[in-house]
Amino acid sequence: MLYAIIGEDVPDSLQQRMAARPAHLARLVELESAGRMILGGPFPATDSPDPGAAGFSGSLIVAEFDSLDAAQAWADSDPYVAAGVYARVAVRPFKQVFPRS
């Protein structure tokens, strides 16, 4: 089943985010290589694809996991969690309607 993982950044976390980014991206590449990644990316803190020093306000990942517990465990072990980037992380079951598969 698909799950949406929504991380909300703490204020002024750009430095921590950038330091943890290589490890964070490596985990996403693993999901993608396994054919389980649907989409993922950050929320710019400004209305721009490159928010510069404003940084990001969070991230969204939609991926396939065996269960809600598995998705939650994966989210809990994210390097952004360990680095203090995320203030909170929500994991929710997700039903893809579009694009149609």
Among left, alpha and beta (phi > 0; psi -120 to 50; other), residue 12 is left
Q: What is the pLDDT of residue 2?
A: 98
Provide the b/e sequence for 83-100 (b: ≥16 CB within 10 Å).
bebbeebebeebeeeeee
The answer to whether residue 101 scores a pLDDT higher than 80 is no
For residue range 32-74, list pLDDT tens digits in order. Answer: 999 999 999 999 999 999 999 999 999 999 999 999 999 999 9
pLDDT, mean over the chain: 97
pTM of the model: 0.95
The answer to whether residue 100 scores a pLDDT higher than 90 is no
